[in-house]
Structure 1
């Protein structure tokens, strides 16, 4: 049977219509999934807030904060839940926005002692953060370790957002790095936000050996925040080892987020200095766990590293 030009056009239009309907259906499905994820994630955070309300109000951190940690033979995971004194829209807009989020996260991460460099760029499907890990002193980029974090704004609406940073591999056979931040407006009301930060990574044999070496030398006397033992009249004992290491770094990342958000109310040319001084002062509130360098050494090192970020790739 011969097909006329009109029939060809009709078939083409029909094919286009089917494809269009399938695309619309996919978009609707994705939208519904995002809505379901937002509803489920938001409700889970509200439930978590209720279960932690007493700990948030009364704890050893002198701020509404709860830290939890998990150690398995091949993975470390730290979670911090906290109420911060910033509107939800400010937190979501600064750290969950697909356009500005990656660069803003670099401003957060560089505050950490071990982050020596961070550069944000656009990837195939999301933002990309090139991050260098190193020691707690000034060093060249060539002597540090480069990780590539993917930036994924998973979901964002008027009362819940979730963003994930992930890197498949790192130094010494470490792998599956994930930094996840999710938040809701504070269930207690007011212009506050209840947020949940997760920091996790896995490790193999080389990573385990590297951590053992560190913990047997310069890290031998370092501890985390979870009490391992407590006796009447005696100073509390805190977890050490790799779990203590994880807790210290999870807290450093949380304090970096808080310092970044606090700086947003300052004039743009004053924000870097405020972030640096706020972060360092906050870490000094927990000297047993977080003190590593003196204030002036930290400020000088970080100013040099931020300046290097403007040119190095």
Structure 2
């Protein structure tokens, strides 16, 4: 199944004060969160686009967050944590830095069998207390388009930062039909995070369908960013393994939405993919 990346037509904070205002407006949702971490998730679907947004407080100083989330190679280290990302290669292009991203299935797969995306990468804003990073791809498979990942971060105090990850894409008839076919078969039991009702016993009923898809993947990418940041204190030689372990632990907090593979299946697959990615980079 195609993992759609990124955002179409979203309004971003633009500066530190606007993002801090958003943090203040979400104070109740962040403190009374069902996510076992101070995190708020939103999603929306229009006739031809999907979008997911995550706002979260992370226990990391902004200086560290800003340094870590700048640089296209850092983003390859983040994105490869996702189950469906098979390879990421950063390079310089005529218009700036480019990430060549192969996205495929949730098991071991040859790159020739995965979809290739080319994302432009740029740092829109970087000040002592505000960061905005943007990744965009014009086209994808099955007529999808306008892929975009936007990350904003702001300093809250000397030990905490507030992050906003926005993820969306636009689609047409072919992609809609392919996704609906997946949701009717392999994905028929998949749900997202938004609660749309309650059962007679009071249990939550979660969003399904295409909004469920965008919510799951927005969360997977956010957790990859979180794992990357939280693994930074590790020695360089063990940092990558720590990221993998942290990402898997995090997704398993939400088994109804995110459980796909057993721990050793995930770790074995990702170790091989990272070795392939490193070999690819070394051969340049």
Category of TM-score, reference length = shorter chain: over 0.9
Single out whichever of 303-312 and 74-83 deviates more from structure 2.
303-312
1:223 aligns with 2:191: yes
The Cα of 1:153 is off from its aligned counterpart by: 0.4
Q: Is there any run of 5+ residues in structure 1 with no aligned partner, and where? A: 1-37
1:153 aligns with 2:123: yes
Whole-Å separation in 1 of the counterparts to 2:96 and 2:134: 11
Bigger relative CO (Cα 8 Å, ≥ 6 apart)? 2
Residue matched to 1:69:
43
Residue matched to 2:167:
199
Query: What TM-score do you get using the length of structure 1 for normalisation?
Result: 0.84
Contact 2:51–2:169 (CA under 8 A) maintained in structure 1: yes
Whole-Å separation in 2 of the counterparts to 1:160 and 1:137: 37
Whole-Å separation in 2 of the counterparts to 1:242 and 1:290: 15
* Closer/same/farther in 2, CA of residues 103 and 164 from structure 1, 3 Å limit: same
Over alpha carbons, which structure has the higher Rg?
1
Residue matched to 2:3:
none
Q: For residues 162-201 of structure 1, what are the alpha-carbon distances to aligned partners after superposition, in whole Å with 9 as ceiling and x for unaligned?
A: 0000111111111111010001112xx3401001000010
* Closer/same/farther in 2, CA of residues 122 and 277 from structure 1, 3 Å limit: same
* Closer/same/farther in 2, CA of residues 40 and 302 from structure 1, 3 Å limit: closer
Q: Equivalences for 1:32-181 in 2 at 5 Å?
A: 40-96=14-70, 101-181=71-151
The Cα of 1:233 is off from its aligned counterpart by: 2.9
1:209 aligns with 2:177: yes
What's the secondary structure of 1:49's corresponding residue? helix
1:306 aligns with 2:252: no
Q: Equivalences for 1:164-313 in 2 at 5 Å?
A: 164-186=134-156, 189-231=157-199, 233-312=201-280
Over the aligned positions, Cα root-mean-square deviation in angstroms equals: 1.4
Whole-Å separation in 2 of the counterparts to 1:247 and 1:279: 17
Query: What TM-score do you get using the length of structure 2 for normalisation?
Result: 0.92
What's the secondary structure of 2:74's corresponding residue? helix
Whole-Å separation in 2 of the counterparts to 1:39 and 1:181: 10
Whole-Å separation in 2 of the counterparts to 1:150 and 1:193: 25
Q: Is there any run of 5+ residues in structure 2 with no aligned partner, and where? A: 1-11
How many residue pairs were aligned? 270
Whole-Å separation in 2 of the counterparts to 1:171 and 1:141: 15
Larger helix share, 1 or 2: 1
Whole-Å separation in 1 of the counterparts to 2:162 and 2:280: 36
